[in-house]
């Protein structure tokens, strides 16, 4: 079965969804990401959906789940590049994905993850003092 590739990028994982996903592909991605967060000790997950022209409630739920699972595993999930038409439609659909962090593009999303890591490292340093 097809899989969506997951790239490692420093201590973050990067997924670029470029195909119109059928439901099993989405479910497989959710599982793959969960195991990779653990095996790579990732602190952040970036999901680039700028190529998607449709996000329905199934994919919305997948994004929500990934964010929730990664939070438990101490990693931040940032969904980047959602198109305006997709955003309007999701809101109309009733999905606001309040548990998911968002950014305009991969660069900003990566900066968000790094900011948070820098912040928590500073906290750790404070604790040691």
Residues lying near another protein in the complex (CB under 8 A): 20-24, 53-58, 60-61, 79-97, 102-105, 108-109
> Closer CB to another protein, residue 37 or residue 55?
55
> Closer CB to another protein, residue 105 or residue 128?
105
- Residue 126 beta carbon to another protein: minimum distance, rounded to whole angstroms: 21
Q: What own/partner pairs with CB < 8 Å and gap ≥ 24 does 117-126 have?
A: 117/11, 117/43, 117/44
- Residue 107 beta carbon to another protein: minimum distance, rounded to whole angstroms: 9
**Which DSSP state fits 123?**
H
- Residue 80 beta carbon to another protein: minimum distance, rounded to whole angstroms: 6
- Residue 104 beta carbon to another protein: minimum distance, rounded to whole angstroms: 4
Closest Cα partner for 44 from 81, 3, 74? Answer: 74
* Cα 117-121-122 angle, rounded to 5 deg: 120
> Closer CB to another protein, residue 38 or residue 91?
91
Q: Where are the beta strands (DSSP E) in 36-104?
A: 44-48, 76-80, 101-103
> Closer CB to another protein, residue 8 or residue 22?
22
């Amino acid at each position: 079965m097809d899989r969506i590739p997951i790239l490692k990028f420093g201590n973050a994982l990067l997924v670029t969804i470029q195909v119109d996903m059928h439901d099993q592909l989405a479910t497989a991605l959710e599982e793959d990401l969960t195991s990779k967060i653990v095996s790579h000790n990732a602190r952040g997950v970036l999901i680039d959906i700028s190529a998607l022209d449709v996000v329905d409630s199934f994919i919305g739920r997948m994004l929500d789940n990934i964010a929730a699972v990664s939070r438990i595993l101490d990693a931040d999930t940032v969904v980047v590049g959602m198109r305006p038409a997709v955003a309007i439609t999701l809101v109309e659909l009733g999905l606001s994905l309040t548990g998911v962090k968002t950014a305009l593009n991969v660069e900003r999303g990566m900066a968000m993850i790094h900011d948070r890591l820098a912040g928590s490292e500073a906290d750790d340093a404070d604790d040691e003092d």
